[in-house]
Amino acid sequence: MSDENLVLLSQSGDNEAFSQLIQKYSADAYRTAFMVLRDCDGVEDVVQESFLTCYRKIKSFRMESSFKTWLYRIVVNRCYDRLRKLNREKETLKKMSLHIRPGHEVSYSIESKLDLRKIVLDLKPEHRLVLTLYYGMDFGVQKVAEILDIPEGTVKSRLHAARNMIKRSLVVKPL
Amino acid sequence: MSCEQIQALLNDYLNKTLSEKEELLVKRHLEKCASCRSEYYNLLHADKALRQVICEMVAEIDVPHGLSVNIERTIARENRTGPSGLVVWLKTPLVAAALLFVVMAAVLGAYQNHFNPFAQKQVARQVQDEERPADGVLSQVDAGNSTVKEKEDAPAVVSPSNQLEALPDQGPKEEEQESIVRQQALALKEPGERASKNMREIQGGQTVEPIEEGARQELNAPQSGEGEQGDFFVTSAPPAGSGGAAAANSRILNDEMSAEKRDAIDGSGLDLVPVKPYYLPLGAVPVNVTSTAGGIFQEYQAGDRHFTVKQTRLGADDQELVKKSAQVANVDVVDINGRQGLMEKSQLGQDDHHAGTVTTLKWRQDDWAFVVSGDLPEEEIIKISKSLR
């Protein structure tokens, strides 16, 4: 059954339909939240609160976007709430940077996945979120912009910056 | 299109956000230009590496077992408890106002019953009344000619419980109304109007209910002129449940108090400090202290015996009184810490419940007149008197 039909049934009070939406998206919602919050406790709480919000507001959901996009917007906002609450963003601003320190640039090898992971993990949460949604959840640029409520140009620039950063860290072999 | 322009579009080419026309232009340029193709491959490689890393990181995240079940349970709990409905209901202004009113009424009721000093005072009076019911009964027996008027004047002298019954629309369970009634009862007991009314009507002895605090204060207040003698003698009577008390009170009530005297008493200060007997007979405990305009009246009880300590401001007539008292028979002169005290004994009638000898010791010190009296041995009365500080 399509998301649209499940949403329509949920709006008419069919809890079973909403359960199917939960089963369909809860795992990816959890992974996305985890990618943003990482070692932060309470990822499950964030996901539960997000679905609870969806459930409460499902009747007012007009399907101007897909349910998945709507759900991810709620999850992302809950993640940001959590970040603000724990004041983690302030700490990560100090240690996370989009730019790699100059001395590290030459030390990365192509096979060093750990280094690539470190680059990803060292990104600001909002930058990592763009990569997670675009690469991990297969959203297009437009959807990512919609979910994050930011301009498409911002999404593109973040993707561009991340690729350039990775490109500089790789020893490119011509195809 | 130049290589610079093409390379500026390479990221969008990867993002697939170019128009078909732009995409075709880039594609054709890359087929021809090795430099741009190399740049494109570098970007493509980074893109693939990034995608791979991100996908691996996402895939490695362990989703908690039963996550969706937990979410469903949370939602089911929400449905069962239905907090949203309750919250909406509580947020209704009318309901909120009604709830607030009920809470405030409950708090006010609790305050009236437990913390209101007027209510507490009234309750204390009720307790006092219940503890000494025989006083009024005995007085009624003594005062044979006062019963009818007393009953007519019932609203002013009845006990609080009678007043509660007399008031209309009294709900027994309505605490607020009860407290209001208590205050009304308190208002009825204003000493100035009620006690004077009673005393005018009562001739030759009258019921003096212990609860009538105002009346008691007036009765025990020091009097000048005619009332003085009786005032002194009232202290010689045992306080409660005693025929002697009734007789003494009768003498006092014969001396009708003038309105001027009452006004003077009511308007005077009560900043007197009571003297304290540092010697007390075995088992003696204070049972009542009455502060009046010009003096303090303390009652003590030691088993079935009583004694009183009265201190009053000394006026010009008091000295005359002492002289008069010295001329009375059965009066002995006793030394009270260097002061001359006059001690007399009076025999209570055989009809009284507590027939016996009452010893009264009077003396004056500085501007005060002291009277210690009671049905104790005279040695005890003297010891008590000497120990007053």
Looking at the partner chain, which of A56, A120, A167 has a beta carbon nearest the beta carbon of B54? A120
Contact status of A172 with chain B (Cβ, < 8 Å) = yes
Q: Provide the domain limits for residue A23.
A: 1-88
- Residue B178 has what pLDDT? 46
The pLDDT tens digits of the residues spanning A70-84 come to 999 999 999 888 888
B232, part of any domain? no
Residue % of chain B over a pLDDT of 70: 49
Q: Is the pLDDT score of B209 beyond 50?
A: no
Mean pLDDT, chain B, whole residue set: 65
Q: List the CATH number of the domain containing A28.
A: 1.10.1740.10
Residue B306 lies in a domain: no
- pLDDT for the residue B175: 47
C-alpha A118/C-alpha A128 separation (Å) is 11
Residue B366 lies in a domain: no
Taking contacts as CB-CB distances below 8 angstroms, the residues of chain B near A38 are none
**Global confidence as pTM:** 0.44
For testing contact with chain A, the best of B30, B60, B62, B63 (most A CBs within 10 A): B63
State how far residue A158 is from chain B, nearest Cα, in angstroms. Answer: 11
**Which pLDDT score, from 0 to 100, does residue A28 have?**
92
Alpha-carbon torsion, ordered B320, B324, B325, B327, to 10 deg: 140
**B342's torsion region: left (phi>0), alpha (psi -120 to 50) or beta?**
beta
Q: Could you tell me if residue B113 is inside a domain?
A: no
How high is the pLDDT of residue B2? 85
Beta-carbon separation of A175 and B63 below 8 A = no
Q: Are residues A69 and A3 in the same domain?
A: yes
| Residues A12 and A79 placed together within one structural domain of the fold | yes
Mutual angle of helices A152-169 and B3-15, in 10-degree steps: 110
In a domain, B108, yes or no: no
Q: Out of B41, B50, B84, whose CB is closest to A174?
A: B41
Q: Which residue has the higher pLDDT, B343 or B356?
A: B343
**B362 burial level (CB within 10 Å; 0-12, 13-18, 19+):** buried
Q: Determine how many CB atoms are found less than 10 A away from the CB of residue A143.
A: 20
Q: Which of A67, A88, A109 is the last residue of a domain?
A: A88
Range of the domain at B11: 3-59
Most confident of A101-110, B160-169, B278-287: B278-287
> What tokens appear for A52 in the block?
């609870």
* DSSP-derived secondary structure for B228-276: HHHHHHHTTS-SSS-HHHHHHHHHHHHSPPPHHHHHHHHHS--------
Which residue from B47, B53, B71 is facing A26, i.e. has the nearest CB?
Answer: B71
| DSSP code, position B65 | T
Q: What pLDDT digit, counting tens, does each position of B175-196 carry? A: 444 444 444 444 444 444 444 4
Would you say residue B267 lies in a domain? no
What is the tens place of the pLDDT at every residue in B225-280?
A: 333 333 333 333 333 333 343 333 333 333 433 444 444 333 343 456 778 888 88
Averaged pLDDT for residues B112-126? 56
Residue-level pLDDT at B129: 54
Residues belonging to chain A: 175
What is the domain-level CATH number for residue A124?
Answer: 1.10.10.10
CB contact under 8 A, A166 and B55: no
Q: What is the CA radius of gyration of chain A?
A: 18
User: What are the backbone angles phi and psi of residue B208, rounded to the nearest 5°?
Assistant: -120, 95
CB-CB neighbors (< 8 A) of B16 in chain A: 140
Tell me how many domains chain B contains. Answer: 1
Other Cβ atoms less than 10 A from the Cβ of B121: the count is 13
- Do A50 and A106 sit in the same domain of this protein? no
Q: Please answer whether residues B207 and B143 qualify as being in contact, where contact means their C-beta atoms are separated by less than 8 angstroms.
A: yes
- pLDDT class of A51 with cuts at 50, 70, 90: very high
Q: What share of chain A is helix, strand, coil (3-state, %, to 5)?
A: 75, 0, 25
Confidence of residue A22 (pLDDT cuts 50, 70, 90): very high
* % of residues, chain A, pLDDT over 70: 80
CA–CA gap between residue A126 and residue A120 (Å, rounded)? 11
Question: Is residue B26 assigned to a domain?
Answer: yes
Q: How far is B95 from chain A (nearest CA, A)?
A: 24
Of B251 and A94, the structure prediction assigns the larger pLDDT to A94
**Structure confidence at residue B156 (pLDDT):** 40
Mutate to test the interface with A, among B71, B72, B79, B80 (most CBs of A within 10 A): B71
Contact criterion met (CB < 8 Å) for B74 and A135 = no
DSSP H helices, A96-169, are 113-122, 125-131, 141-148, 152-169
- Please check whether residue B144 lies inside any domain of the structure: no
Tell which A residues from 18 to 77 touch B, by Cβ distance under 8 Å: 18-19, 22-23, 26-27, 30-32, 34-35, 44, 47-48, 51-52, 55-56
Shared-domain flag, residues A114 and A168: yes
How many folded domains does chain A comprise?
A: 2
Predicted confidence band of residue B66 (pLDDT cuts 50, 70, 90): confident
Instruction: Choose one of A27, A59, A88: the last residue of a domain.
Output: A88
Domain boundary among A88, A106, A124: A88
Predicted local distance difference test score (pLDDT) of residue B121:
52
> Is residue A89 predicted with pLDDT exceeding 60?
no
User: Could you tell me if A166 and A140 lie in one domain?
Assistant: yes
Token digits for B44? 């493509």
The residue type of B18 is: L
Over range A141-157, report the average pLDDT.
Answer: 92
Residue B309: HSE in the Cβ half-sphere, 13 Å Cα cutoff = 28
DSSP strand pairing (B305-313 vs B295-302): antiparallel
Q: Do B67 and A19 touch (CB under 8 A)?
A: no
